[in-house]
Amino acid sequence: TVKWGLIGASTIARQFMINAIRSQPDGEVVAVMSSDAGRAERYARDNGIPHHFSDLDALLGSPVDAVYISTTNELHLEQTLAAARAGKHVLCEKPLALTSAEARKMVAACRKAGVVMGTNHHLRNAGAHRAMREAIAAGRIGRPIAARVFHAVYLPEHLQGWRIRRPEAGGGVVLDITVHDADTLRFVLGEDPSEISAVVQSAGLASGGLEDGAMTVMKFSSGLIAQTHESFTVRYAGTGFEVHGTEGSLIARDVMTQKPVGTLMLHTAAGEEELSFDREDLYTRALRQFHAAIRGEGAPSATGEDGVWSLAVAEAALESARKGRSVSIDPQL
Ligand code: NDP
């Protein structure tokens, strides 16, 4: 079995990750750590977790094999470094840290310790995105020319906390959602972006100088161009992901989400075809790949390096918005 310790008594762990771990034939959630002893105890009781801690060293000193880190973003760096020192495998939430330089330190520490490191970019595990990647690789749209990502949503009221109020915790829509879009573009297209221009806004929800809306355009190594729209304040836009090529277009709707839902259409000279795709839970699949990586079989769906990449894109987007000009993207890997 793989014994998991949760670092962070978070919403995402409660809603998706505890279940994803327990869905594995060999996965067990044995402990949770919260900065607050009372919350740790309640969270453990509510979720049937045998052990709870309010001290990181105590959790890392207990018999866990792997940790899932889903605290606020400014805490991921030190928690990952400590977990690596303790010889624990690390699945860390995105953004990996507040800067790509910090994220690179995390990757280096896990490599040095010989532990597996993954970034929880769930969208790579979505059947829709995997089907798009396969269709592109199989040449079904010819040469890809452009991509568009629609990821403007309304931040649910129960999550209207640090994300829109605390810059020091890594709030803002760019660190929250642009990182996912950057990772999904890299995964679906199979290539990396080299340059980005971005504008951001505060449309009424975020405070403290944080942005709650962003639009970016990127150039990829092949010459492909992509645009993205991220928001916390748009209620009815719906989400989508499109890739347009010389011979066809892939149009996915309702796929920038945590659930295995949505539709995928292929449009070519032959007409319109709906492509079917796997509907497995995204987080369950991520966990399965992570467990395989622990056994030495392949890599996590999104590696630590992938997390450095997505953060480097987000960082460049914020720099571009601040400076009012395009910025080159260099993850320095
Ligand atoms: P939450 O706000 O639910 O949890 C973050 C931290 O806030 C917790 O670790 C906890 O601290 C503290 N906290 C939670 N509830 C309370 C409360 N009622 N009172 C006081 N403090 C509380 O964040 P999310 O679960 O939304 O996000 C956590 C991380 O996961 C972030 O890095 C985020 O970017 C990422 N995320 C990733 C998703 C994905 O699909 N990949 C989806 C959603 C989030 P403590 O542990 O000290 O108790």
Q: Tell me how far the alpha carbon of residue 324 lies from the centroid of ligand 1, in angstroms.
A: 32
For strand 89-92 and strand 66-69, is the pairing parallel, antiparallel, or unpaired?
parallel
Best residue among 11, 47, 54 to mutate for probing ligand 1, ranked by most atoms within 8 Å of CB: 11
3-state DSSP assignment of residue 251: strand
Q: Tell me how far the alpha carbon of residue 159 lies from the centroid of ligand 1, in angstroms.
A: 9
Q: What atom of ligand 1 comes closest to residue 40's alpha carbon? A: 48
The answer to whether the CB of 120 is under 6 A from ligand 1 is yes
Q: Tell me how far the alpha carbon of residue 163 lies from the centroid of ligand 1, in angstroms.
A: 10
Count other C-beta atoms under 10 Å from residue 158's C-beta: 7
3-state DSSP assignment of residue 35: coil
The edge-to-edge listing of strands for the beta sheet with 225-231 is: 271-274, 263-268, 248-253, 240-245, 144-152, 225-231, 213-220, 193-201, 327-328
| pLDDT tens digits, one per residue of 208-256 | 999 999 999 999 999 999 999 999 999 999 999 999 999 999 999 999 9
Instruction: Give the closest residue (by CA) to ligand 1 atom 13.
Output: 10
Q: Tell me how far the alpha carbon of residue 76 lies from the centroid of ligand 1, in angstroms.
A: 11
User: What does the pLDDT read at residue 127?
Assistant: 98
Count other C-beta atoms under 10 Å from residue 217's C-beta: 18
User: What does the pLDDT read at residue 123?
Assistant: 98
- Angle ∠(288,294,295) on CA atoms, nearest 5: 90
Amino acid at 333: L
Q: Tell me how far the alpha carbon of residue 312 lies from the centroid of ligand 1, in angstroms.
A: 22
Q: Are 247 and 269 in contact (CB under 8 A)?
A: yes
User: What does the pLDDT read at residue 179?
Assistant: 98
Best residue among 34, 72, 155, 165 to mutate for probing ligand 1, ranked by most atoms within 8 Å of CB: 72
User: What does the pLDDT read at residue 81?
Assistant: 98
Q: Which of 114, 79, 91, 123 is nearest to 2 (CA)?
A: 91
Q: Are 90 and 66 in contact (CB under 8 A)?
A: yes
Instruction: Give the closest residue (by CA) to ligand 1 atom 6.
Output: 71
Can you list the residues of the chain whose pLDDT is less than 50? none
Q: Tell me how far the alpha carbon of residue 316 lies from the centroid of ligand 1, in angstroms.
A: 25
Q: Tell me how far the alpha carbon of residue 217 lies from the centroid of ligand 1, in angstroms.
A: 29
User: What does the pLDDT read at residue 243?
Assistant: 99
Both structure tokens of 308: 């450095």
User: What does the pLDDT read at residue 58?
Assistant: 98
Instruction: Give the closest residue (by CA) to ligand 1 atom 4.
Output: 10
Count other C-beta atoms under 10 Å from residue 160's C-beta: 14
User: What does the pLDDT read at residue 207?
Assistant: 96
Both structure tokens of 142: 């010819």
Q: What stretch of H or E contains 146?
A: strand 144-152
Best residue among 7, 10, 42, 187 to mutate for probing ligand 1, ranked by most atoms within 8 Å of CB: 10
Q: What atom of ligand 1 comes closest to residue 120's alpha carbon? A: 41
User: What does the pLDDT read at residue 271?
Assistant: 98
User: What does the pLDDT read at residue 256?
Assistant: 98
User: What does the pLDDT read at residue 51?
Assistant: 98
Q: Tell me how far the alpha carbon of residue 15 lies from the centroid of ligand 1, in angstroms.
A: 11
DSSP class of residue 175 equals I
State the SS3 of 84-142.
HHCCCEEEECCCCCCCHHHHHHHHHHHHHHCCCEEECCHHHHCHHHHHHHHHHHCCCCC
How far is residue 138's CA from residue 274's CA, in Å, rounded to a whole number? 16
User: What does the pLDDT read at residue 302?
Assistant: 98
| pLDDT tens digits, one per residue of 98-108 | 999 999 999 99
User: What does the pLDDT read at residue 216?
Assistant: 98
On the 0-12 / 13-18 / 19+ scale of CB atoms within 10 A, 57 is exposed
3-state DSSP assignment of residue 328: strand
The answer to whether the CB of 257 is under 6 A from ligand 1 is no
The answer to whether the CB of 39 is under 6 A from ligand 1 is yes
The answer to whether the CB of 70 is under 6 A from ligand 1 is yes
How far is residue 111's CA from residue 103's CA, in Å, rounded to a whole number? 12
